Chains A and B, each alone.
Chain A
Amino acid sequence: MPNGQNALGLGTHHLPWPDFDSLARSEGDPGPVRGLRAAERSRRLLLLRSLIDQTTKSADLFTPLPSPETAWELLARVERVAPAEIELILAHPYTGSWAGYTTRLCRQDVTGVCPFWVHIGHVHALAAAAAIRAGLPFETEVPVWQGKVSLPTLGMATLRTDAPFSVARVSCRNGEAKVENQGSLVRLPKDRTTDAPGWWGVREAVMWSGERRLAVRLDDLDPYRGLYEPLPPRRLTSVETEAWRTALGDAWHLLATLLPGLADTLPEGLDSLVPDPAVPFRLPSASTGEAFGSAIIAYGDHAPTLAAALVHEFQHIRLGGLLHLARLYVDDPRERFYAPWREDPRPIGGVLHGIYAFFGVTMFWRALAAAEPDDQLAAFEFALWRAQTWRTLKVMRADPSLTTAGRRFLDGVAERLEPWQDEPVAPGPATWAVAAARDHYAAWRIRHLRPDPATADTLAAAWRAGRSRPGAGPLPELRDPTPVPDGPWHDARTDLLRLRLGPGGETALANRGPAVPGVTEGDLAWAAGRAEDAVTGYRRLLSREPDDPCALVGLGLALAARSAGPASRALLHRPELVRAVHRLLRDDTGTAPPVESVAGWIGRFTN
């Protein structure tokens, strides 16, 4: 779909509004995602051409390897006989990461994790991998990093060498490929996904649910699979690989059953997973706009949570692709927004990504909650994320940094998200979702909003004078957060709620809750519904650590669970002000009234 042609006889990528709107609403057929992939292909080719142009005439940039021009020639040879293999190499997510990373090195004239010749020399590894795939006879040289030779999409050879960076020869004759240096030789097996002496193959996971198929490479080898910089391999054991296949199979089945339309589209935008180790009580995941088709995901065996993570990352991948074509906001790095999925303030680009990702997450939990009405965790996640995403979207829609296209994009999200706000959710999970949202926002405020010093001084003076009210007008609402947090935060209470509402229920909460990082006795009591014990636990903590954000907000939640009053209102809505005033009162005498008393006083004139 080239736009009107230029002097080269070529057009530019064009995205029709129906496709744009379909992407925004996260519905429709896979066509728009294919369009994004085609654009990404063009982007990578341009970066590749630019890198070759910039480096091929300066031997000091690529020596001791051959000129990058020879890699281009080999790629072109492969294209003539086996174009599908070139397409596969170009579509490989980490070809994009490599091109972006190396381009930045070039622009900034810096070396990177390895000497520059190793990074630019990766183009020889891409060409060699394409030629091996095509069965083309060839010989070339590639970089070796810590004895490892990466052949993207195929695997990694290990050679004997003491040098941190060196050169190896890769060749293919009569369909037999080998990698060698002066001290060792590795022959690639016929089935290159298997391991052989000196060879790790890139493994695959192929999942079926009825007619729906998802095939991904489990890439624990490619040096450009990370977020920022090249990484050494982190090889999964065979047992871990099988565990991943099982977990992905279960997650895929759930996804295909609950969201068949999305499952028809997702394989177009996800073909490689970087497996990360499990993280207790969490399932972190990541992606980058340079690696279209890839997600980094920690291991998890809870199928719904893994399925939600797949949807989450697919949304990031789609939006990352779209942003190569459409400017949705004016570039603005200021971290000025509250994002309910993050501890810290975020810039507009990050928040937009988060809205789209959690829109997808909400969609998934909504479908599961509808299919499994007794699933309390699904109901909780649906209630939590529909509200958190909607709240953030409403703020963002009014921001002047959005472009017209950006506003249209959020309108598309809103079109689906808004009606979900009124759908019924079981009262228990719904109540916990409200509490979790309050918890997160209050914790963010106390750590990232700095109260006006004059207001805090006025309040402290009024307290000292024994006045029932400070006499000032309404308290000013704070607008600009600071990225430097004032105090630590663990979000342990939400982890506890997930234990309580998840498959193990209250038994899991009792047995595993004490192992949640950062958890306190007050948190355990609160999540178990023992509000009075929680109040006691947080009071005890605050007598020792009166500035502790987790305890201050926890006390607000526990008091609110017991009965709403001014202290809980202040601790949940103006915790930063309560703490600031309490600090001033402590500074006066070294002793101070309980922070709860100060909160109760401030709460009387806090909305």
Chain B
Amino acid sequence: MTQQPRSGGEAGIDSELLDLGGVSLARLRTLDGSELRKALRHAVERVTYIPVTASEGQGAKRVD
């Protein structure tokens, strides 16, 4: 995740999340290669860090 302006592009946050807009399911099933594996690994690893937020009374452990 970087925050540098892209060359010729609008400055902002460049995430590590692969943009699958416009990719059909049929094509997504056949995509392969190191770039895809990296994207899959990133998505899978981040599921450990998903915050749950709840006001008190929900019985939640990680709450806000």
B40 cross-chain contacts in A, Cβ below 8 A: 46, 49-50, 53
Total CB contacts across the A-B interface at under 8 A? 204
Chain A CB within 10 A, most for which of B40, B44, B53: B53
A342 in complex: contacting residue of B10, B33, B63, CB < 8 Å: B63
Q: A41, B54: Cβ atoms under 8 Å? A: no
Within 8 Å of chain B (Cβ to Cβ): is A404?
A: yes
- Chain B residue numbers with a CB within 8 Å of A15 are 12-13, 15
Q: B8-37 vs A: 1/0 string, CB under 8 Å?
A: 011111111111110111101101011110
A8–B36 touching, CB < 8 Å: yes
Which residues on B sit within 8 Å (CB–CB) of A228? 52, 60
B33 touches A7 (CB 8 A): yes
User: Of the 9-residue stretches A286-294, A543-551, A574-582, which lies at the interface with chain B?
Assistant: A286-294
The reply to whether A286 and B29 contact each other, CB–CB distance below 8 Å, is no
User: Contact: A7 with B35, CB < 8 Å?
Assistant: yes
Chain A CB within 10 Å, residue with most, of B3, B39, B47: B47
Interface size band for B: 35 or more
Contact for B64 among A11, A323, A354, CB less than 8 A: A354
Q: A227 touching B25 by the CB < 8 A rule?
A: no
Within 8 A of B (CB), among A324-358: 324-327, 331, 339, 341-343, 346-347, 349-351, 353-354, 357
A346 CA to B1 CA in the complex, in Å? 25
| Contact residues in A for B50 (Cβ distance below 8 Å) | 100, 288-290, 320
A80 cross-chain contacts in B, Cβ below 8 A: 26
Is the C-beta of A103 less than 8 angstroms from some C-beta in chain B?
yes
Q: Are B21 and A227 in contact (CB under 8 A)?
A: no
Q: Distance (Å) between the CB of A259 and the closest chain B CB?
A: 20
What is the distance, in angstroms, from B57's C-beta to the closest C-beta of chain A? 4
* Cα A325 to Cα B47 with chains together (Å): 13
Q: Give the segment of A277-285, A532-540, A596-604 that binds chain B.
A: A277-285
**Complexed CA–CA distance, A1 and B1 (Å):** 16
The answer on a CB contact under 8 Å between A104 and B51 is: no
**Do A287 and B53 have beta carbons less than 8 Å apart?**
yes
B14 contact set on A, CB distance < 8 A: 3, 12, 14
Are B1 and A286 within 8 A (Cβ)? Answer: no
Q: How far is the CA of A339 from the CA of B56 in the complex (A)?
A: 12
A343 touches B17 (CB 8 A): no
Given contacts A38-B21, A49-B40, contact A324 B53 (CB under 8 A): no
- Could you list which residues of chain B lie within 8 angstroms of chain A, going by C-beta atoms? 1, 3, 6-7, 9-21, 23-26, 28-29, 31, 33-36, 39-40, 43-44, 46-58, 60, 62-64
Q: List 12 A-B contacts (CB under 8 A).
A: A7-B33, A7-B35, A8-B18, A13-B18, A14-B6, A38-B21, A46-B40, A107-B48, A341-B64, A347-B62, A353-B53, A405-B3
